[in-house]
Amino acid sequence: MKDRYNVSKLLEILIVRSLADRMRPESGAADSLVIVNAVNPGLCRTSLGREVTGAQKVIFGLVQLVLGRSAEEGSRTIVDATASGFDTHGQYLSNCRVTVPSDLVVGESVGKTQERVWNELLDLLEGIQPGVKDVLGS
């Protein structure tokens, strides 16, 4: 479970980048005015660590207290991403700025991994809602 948070963030960035590629005006997308980006609101003082116990709970609580933003402050980063222009399309935003994510996301070998994640997601979604692949493309 410890790694699930980090893995979910990696998957989020890969999926956002794939979706954004398919939503570019040159892609023939029906509505090229839609901006898709990934936003990092930072560590916020919320109930994120509600299931942590023992010493880890104390340490996490202290880290949240010292370094964490209020949930309201974190929400401002989401509002900022929503109001951002097309230059943020497909980008990773952190602290209200376009930020280059890890080399794992922008390195040479990411293309195949990103495409694989996208296709696996489409397969899962197709099983839930037939026709999704026709809309989002494979």
**Residues 23/36, Cβ–Cβ less than 8 Å:** yes
Q: Could you tell me the pTM of the whole model?
A: 0.79
| Catalytic residue of the set 2, 5, 112, 133 | 5
What is the mean pLDDT of each successive set of 10 residues along the chain, which is 138 residues long? 82 92 68 82 86 87 89 93 90 92 80 91 94 80
| Catalytic residue of the set 2, 9, 57, 112 | 9
44-77 pLDDT tens trace:
888 878 888 898 888 888 888 899 999 999 999 9
Look at residue 102 in the predicted model and tell me its pLDDT. Answer: 82
CB atoms closer than 10 angstroms to residue 76: 13
Q: Tell me whether residue 2 is one of the annotated catalytic residues.
A: no
Q: Tell me whether residue 5 is one of the annotated catalytic residues.
A: yes
